[in-house]
Structure 1
Amino acid sequence: MFRRLPLRQILCLLPLLVVAVWVVKHRSLIGSGARQMFTANPYWLLTAVATTGLGWVAVSFARQGTVLERLPARRLFATQFAAGAANHLLPSGIGASAVNIRFMTGCGLPPARSSAALALYFLAEATARMGLLLTLLLAFPEALRLGPLLPESVSGTVVAGVVAAAGVLVAGVALVGPVRRLVVRFLRTALADARSLHTRPSRALALWGGSLAFPLLQAAGLMAVALALELEVRPAHVLLAYLAATAVAAVVPAPGGIGSVDAALVIALVAAGAPVESATSTVLAYRFITVWLPLIPGALVLGGLVRWKIV
């Protein structure tokens, strides 16, 4: 009986089954985030939903900027939307990476080129994110104070040191043993492709513009939720809190950042001056919009892409 079931149909249903199990497991967290939204300003919440959608557009531009070949725009966008769901099945972005490699390979790129494009995307995205974070830390050095969590003497400089140390730790873990050789090989190919890509202004603009726009749009979504819940924190400080929190949370390879990102965002918002209760409500509502709301539609799109042999 089971042998008669086509493998591709099983793979189409697998994302939905995994998502269903995950939703049941985290139903209390999802319910808390949903309840926070009933008391919020609906217009700012719609703004948060819009910035989340634009974030997938920004990622699509960045992915296109990693290859010279023109990728089909609609399929590229659908793949980024589906990759968000796949990212919640495996830790450290492995799910999204696998979906994108399959998509690029299906578009005719050799596996080595697809892997190099993936490495270039991560390099550009990390560079843009850290550049934004350091710029904001220099512009607002006293923005992040951990208040009751740490002594008042803790400043943005100390936070910057912690973030930098976390980045060094991640890089050090990634450069150990066989992983180091794999990363070095990918980076060499990615840097070789990068030289070719930067001779095409349209590709360079897509790569760096998308890499800069994505974290800014994600942070704008958090700012919109903060305004919807009347969180008394300056928008620039919310942006800085988001960038610092996601940089630190990257050390913990949790699927979809569940737990690590949530805790880091709450701590960062408290450090920016928000009460603990208000910060928790803001993060729950924000994560509901950016993680849980698109999860089932993303799984449906992922199943469709598998069925149509796009990934």
Structure 2
Amino acid sequence: MRRIRQILCVLPLVLVAVVAVRHRAVLAEGFGHLEHAKWPWLVAAVGATCLTWVAAAVTRQGAVVEPLPKRRLLATQFAAGAANHLLPTGLGAGAVNLRFLTVCGLPLARSSAALALYLLAESIGRLCLLAALLIAFPGALRLGTLVPEGAVAPLLLGAGAVLVVAAGVLASVRRLRGAACSFLRTALGEARSVHTRPARAFALWGGSFAFPALQAAGLAAVGQALGLPVPPAHMAVAYLAATVAVALVPTPGGLGSVEAALVVALVAAGGPVAVATAVVLAYRIITVWVPLVPGALTLGALVRLKVI
């Protein structure tokens, strides 16, 4: 067991090195764009990025009734961000937080339910924020450039087919159906318990809206730093639309898919392709690559200290 923990302490840094080598051209170009940026706006982007970890910690606390150790919870969110960029989207952060909750004494079933509640609340917050901004700024995106004409119906049919197949599997496999029903009962019980406590409910939903808002604010600040001729509110709409669109793409931290979707969304918002590309690369440097090494070190330290 000790040898396994030693390997787990070193593994995040090894994975960081592998990912960095694979994306070295992107890193070089991104740092090149940062040299010509307006630094006050970059500082604002860094500040917004740091606050996303606080928002994530607040939301995680809101998803459980028991009080969690604040410093360890915040450190876990920072480490989870690094894990999320090294494993397929959501799996890294989910595994880290699931382990953290079980170490804090929550049974696995309740920890899983809390994780599901967090993901549901964050998704609802992101979608509601996007809908509100689209209503407030209906011309923010030229949607025809994002979705080719005639592609909406096939996409909806495909999504419907996936849901039908999933429902059929659950209905036909008795053991799987029983496990799903048991998990659903646990999750609903956890959600009811959280919402009977106003402080927890406020933390859950306040953090769920603050997290994507801060991410969008970070992109808007980088856009201002590099002179992207798009209003900040429209950049926020572009960010939310792009991240919703790539939510189902199973790449580590969205590496590759997020960049492409953000460039397309910023162009759809009216930005030149070259400047939009520079903004996206600089934004990902600030939010992904700069925190990756300290995040991996924090992850290794938390494993060594048996916090996770």
Output the TM-score relative to the length of structure 2: 0.90
Contact between 1:66 and 1:203, CA under 8 Å: does it hold in 2? yes
The percent identity for this pair of structures is 61
Identify the residue that residue 82 of structure 2 maps to in structure 1.
85
1:276-303 Cα offsets, whole Å, 9 max, x none, are 0010000000000000010000000000
Identify the residue that residue 172 of structure 1 maps to in structure 2.
163
Q: Give 4+ residue runs of structure 1 displaced > 4 Å after superposition.
A: 146-151, 164-171, 178-185
RMSD of equivalent CA atoms:
2.7
CA distance in structure 2 between the partners assigned to 1:248 and 1:10 by the alignment: 36
Identify the residue that residue 300 of structure 1 maps to in structure 2.
297
CA distance in structure 1 between the partners assigned to 2:55 and 2:186 by the alignment: 24
Contact between 2:102 and 2:111, CA under 8 Å: does it hold in 1? yes
CA distance in structure 1 between the partners assigned to 2:158 and 2:50 by the alignment: 28
The one-letter code matched in structure 1 to 2:281 is L
Residue of structure 2 aligned with 1:63, choices 60, 63, 79: 60
The one-letter code matched in structure 2 to 1:289 is I
Secondary structure of the corresponding residue to residue 293 of structure 1: helix
Identify the residue that residue 207 of structure 1 maps to in structure 2.
204
Contact between 2:146 and 2:265, CA under 8 Å: does it hold in 1? no
The CA deviation at 1:31 is 1.1
The CA deviation at 1:146 is 5.6
Identify the residue that residue 108 of structure 1 maps to in structure 2.
105
Contact between 2:84 and 2:91, CA under 8 Å: does it hold in 1? yes
Change (3 A) 1:165 1:75: farther
Identify the residue that residue 290 of structure 1 maps to in structure 2.
287
Give the paired residue count.
301
The one-letter code matched in structure 1 to 2:30 is G
1:259 aligns with 2:259: no
CA distance in structure 1 between the partners assigned to 2:92 and 2:157 by the alignment: 23
Change (3 A) 1:51 1:186: farther
CA distance in structure 1 between the partners assigned to 2:29 and 2:61 by the alignment: 37
The one-letter code matched in structure 2 to 1:97 is G
Contact between 1:119 and 1:186, CA under 8 Å: does it hold in 2? no
The one-letter code matched in structure 1 to 2:245 is V
Gaps of 5+ in 2: none
Contact between 1:143 and 1:237, CA under 8 Å: does it hold in 2? yes
1:27 aligns with 2:24: yes
Secondary structure of the corresponding residue to residue 257 of structure 1: coil
213-222 or 194-203, which moves further after superposition? 194-203
The CA deviation at 1:7 is 2.1
Gaps of 5+ in 1: none
Identify the residue that residue 39 of structure 1 maps to in structure 2.
36
The CA deviation at 1:89 is 2.1
